[in-house]
């Protein structure tokens, strides 16, 4: 099993985001408890920030219990619980904004890694890179510390908020689950 480790020291994850993962696991009581144990808490505080290394440890437990398909299903359920700001109203926009959203929910040394006012992004946690390749197709590249199969589900889940018939495929070649630097995904949809 691939170990999930932070890409930089002193990275924390927003409790509100983390609470979404806890909500997704509510039907898996044992996993929900394992995730809270990995975070070192009995109850999650949505206003708190949690060390990314603990979050990744929790993902490792989900991976151990549910495997790759479970991680993908887990990731696919997350976007249904996320509120979107105005202006995100189609699959291409949500996929293009995924990297900013990701950085907005992580902090380094206590400073949020995306500034909404300036658009400035702090490096250190990798990226979700987007490229539009057609009316109903996009390429995504992920080089972050989260599991490959989780990212596949997450990306598909975000697109599914706006379109139907979503299909996501891992492009041949490099993969983080096999020690690569990044994963490439092709995502398409019917309508």
Distance CA 191, CA 17 (A): 28
CB 46 within 8 A of CB 19: yes
CB 127 within 8 A of CB 144: yes
Residue 1's pLDDT is 58
Distance CA 168, CA 187 (A): 4
Classify 16 as helix, strand or coil: helix
HEC string for 34-100: HHHHHHCCCCCCCCCEEEHHHHHHHHHHHHHHHHHHHHHHHHHHHHHHCCCCCCCCCHHHHHHCHHH
Question: In 10 A of CB 91, how many CB atoms?
Answer: 22
Inter-CA distances, 132 with 15, 93, 160, Å: 31, 10, 16
Residue 33's pLDDT is 85
Which residues lie below 8 Å from residue 176, measured CB to CB, with a gap of 6+?
Answer: 2, 142, 143, 147, 148, 182, 183
CB 13 within 8 A of CB 55: yes
Distance CA 27, CA 160 (A): 21
Q: Is the pTM of this model over 0.75?
A: yes
Beta strands 167-170 and 137-142, pairing class = unpaired
Distance CA 22, CA 14 (A): 13
Averaged in consecutive runs of 10 residues, what is the pLDDT profile of the chain (191 residues)?
84 87 79 84 90 90 86 87 80 96 94 93 97 98 96 96 97 94 97 83
Residue 78's pLDDT is 85
Residue 82's pLDDT is 77
């Amino acid at each position: 099993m691939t170990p999930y480790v932070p890409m930089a020291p002193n990275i924390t994850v927003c409790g509100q985001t983390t609470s979404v993962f806890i909500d997704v696991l509510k039907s898996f009581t044992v996993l929900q408890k394992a995730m809270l144990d990995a975070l070192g808490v009995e109850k999650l505080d949505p206003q708190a920030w949690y060390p990314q290394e603990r979050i990744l440890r929790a993902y490792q437990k989900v991976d151990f219990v549910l495997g790759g398909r479970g991680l993908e299903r887990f990731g696919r359920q997350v976007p249904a619980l996320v509120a979107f700001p105005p202006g995100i109203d189609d699959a291409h926009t949500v996929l293009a904004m995924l990297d900013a959203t990701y950085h907005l929910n992580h902090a380094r040394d206590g400073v949020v890694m995306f500034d909404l006012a300036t658009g400035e992004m702090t490096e250190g946690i990798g990226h979700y890179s987007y490229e539009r390749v057609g009316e109903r197709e996009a390429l995504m590249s992920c080089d972050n510390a989260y599991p490959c199969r989780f990212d596949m589900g997450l990306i598909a889940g975000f697109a599914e908020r706006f379109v139907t018939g979503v299909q996501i495929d891992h492009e041949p070649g490099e993969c983080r689950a096999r020690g690569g630097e990044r994963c490439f995904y092709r995502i398409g949809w019917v309508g």
